[in-house]
Amino acid sequence: MRLHDYWRSGASYRVRIALNLKNLHYEQVAHDLRTGAQADPAYAVINPQRLVPALEMEGQVLTQSLAIVEWLEERHPAPALLPTDPDSRAIVRAMAGVIASDIHPLNNLRVLVALRRDLDAGETRISAWIARWIGEGFAALETMIVRHGGAHAFGDAPGLVDCCLVPQLYSAERFAMPLDAFPRVVAAGAAARGLPAVAAAHPDRQPDADAR
């Protein structure tokens, strides 16, 4: 498998966590979003949306991080990232969707660039924008984790919610978002981050990461 990603992409980070939790080997191909590398015509052939991640395998290309993780779950079901019963699976997907559908898309790089370039938003307004959407999403997740969490965000094993939560926490911390109001969110993230497979997916540990 070949994963097209970028070290600081939250969506790519999700897929790296899932691949690592399932102990699957993959080759990484980096596309620096800051320089517009994803717009290269050669990459557009692979992913017409010109976004990361994209996963190449067996002559096929999969895009969209949650679709990729669901495919991994179906093709490589152990260890499981989704529970077995339909009700619990729906809850897990909803919790993941809070992040992947309602928080992350509003704060990703291309949206922030558009706010600065097209709407002339300054950094104070950008920071308020980021905090608003992370805060609203984390407030909902806090309640959901209280209801459904255990040692991890859902139950006692790492799964799909953790694949989404860890990258979103990384983003919140990167933008200096206060997290005191979300103790269960923070605790679930800490539990997942303590796993070697999750730690290995951290942006700073990727081959294309900026030198520190």
What does the pLDDT read at residue 93? 98
CATH topology of domain 86-197: Glutathione S-transferase Yfyf (Class Pi); Chain A, domain 2 (1.20.1050)
Alpha-carbon distance 191 to 153, whole Å? 9
Task: Give start-end residues of each CATH 1.20.1050.10 domain in the chain.
Answer: 86-197
pTM: 0.95
Nearest to 71, CA basis, from 18, 28, 21, 26: 18
Coil vs helix vs strand at 5:
strand
The CATH number of the domain covering residues in 2-79:
3.40.30.10
pLDDT digits (tens, 9 = 90+) for 44-89: 999 999 999 999 998 899 999 999 999 999 999 999 999 999 999 9
Q: Which residues, 6+ apart, have CB-to-CB distance to 159 below 8 Å?
A: 80, 81, 82, 83, 92, 152, 153
Q: What is the mean pLDDT of residues 180-189?
A: 98
pLDDT category at 110 given cuts 50, 70, 90 is confident
Could you tell me how far CA 36 lies from the centroid of its own chain? 20
Task: Give start-end residues of each CATH 3.40.30.10 domain in the chain.
Answer: 2-79
